[in-house]
């Protein structure tokens, strides 16, 4: 459903027993007597609700990360974004590439995350690959900063999603890189799972 249809559905929430001028549609004096019947308002509201849920279900995942790393813990972080970045994310215009997280002066940032420029942006448009700050509480930040000082640990972006309140959040994972043998096992597991789903129509 596009935005035009959404606005059209909003216009349908008019009482069917009266016209705009207060007369009843059945009256011959009513100028709307021969107009097209109005749809069920309840159905219109349900369609609008479904449309809103589709908008709010936006999620962009970093599938490659699970092939490259074992994750011991996951965290949900806020994202500091510009207005044009938010608009591009709502259109799904982002890719993780080889993005990663790092600490600078006790604060956590994500690098190499590509968010395309907003197509209708002006001189205020953002840089697609710019560094972006992540928001976590102090206890989580201290724990992560302590962990990545240990050999082999990395903090990797896993997905970006839109919350019910309309804010973009990022799921990040604390993990260790897989060895080649581990990667081959992951591929086998994924192929086996895909074959089972295909066979049983899951």
**Higher pLDDT residue, 199 or 60?**
60
| 3 state DSSP class of 154 | strand
Q: Which of 33-37, 122-126, 158-162, 175-179 has the lowest mean pLDDT?
A: 33-37
Residues 111-127, mean pLDDT to the nearest whole number: 92
Taking the C-alpha atoms of residue 41 and residue 49, their distance in angstroms, rounded to an integer, is 12
Tens of pLDDT along 27-58?
544 444 444 444 555 665 655 555 445 445 68
Which range has the worst mean pLDDT, 48-52, 96-100, 153-157?
48-52
Lowest mean pLDDT among 6-15, 128-137, 153-162: 6-15
Fold of 59-199: Small Protein B; Chain: A; (2.40.280)
Average pLDDT, the chain: 78
**Residue of 132, 142, 139 whose CA lies nearest to 78:** 132
Share of the chain above pLDDT 90, in %: 50
Structural domain boundaries in the chain = 3-56, 59-199
Q: Is 61 helix (H, G, I), strand (E, B) or coil?
A: strand
User: Is residue 43 a contact partner of residue 75, using CB atoms and an 8 Å limit?
Assistant: no
- Residue that wins the pLDDT comparison between 16 and 182: 182
């Amino acid at each position: 459903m596009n935005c035009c249809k959404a606005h059209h559905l909003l216009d349908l929430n008019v009482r069917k027993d009266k016209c705009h001028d207060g007369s009843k549609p059945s009256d011959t004096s009513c100028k709307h007597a021969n107009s097209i019947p109005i749809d069920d308002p309840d159905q219109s509201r349900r369609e609008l609700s479904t449309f809103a849920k589709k908008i709010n279900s936006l999620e962009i995942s970093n599938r490659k990360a699970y092939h490259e790393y074992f994750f011991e813990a996951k965290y949900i972080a806020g994202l500091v974004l510009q207005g044009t970045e938010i608009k591009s994310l709502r259109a799904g215009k982002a890719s993780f590439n080889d993005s990663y997280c790092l600490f600078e002066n006790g604060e956590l940032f994500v690098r190499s995350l590509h968010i395309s420029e907003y197509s209708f942006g002006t001189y205020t448009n953002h840089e697609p690959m710019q560094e972006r700050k992540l928001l976590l509480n102090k206890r989580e930040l201290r724990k992560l900063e302590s962990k990545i000082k240990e050999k082999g640990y990395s903090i990797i972006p896993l997905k970006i999603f839109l919350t019910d309140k309309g804010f973009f959040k990022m799921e990040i994972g604390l993990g260790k890189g897989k060895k080649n043998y581990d990667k081959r096992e992951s591929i086998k597991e994924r192929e086996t799972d895909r074959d089972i789903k295909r066979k049983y129509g899951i």
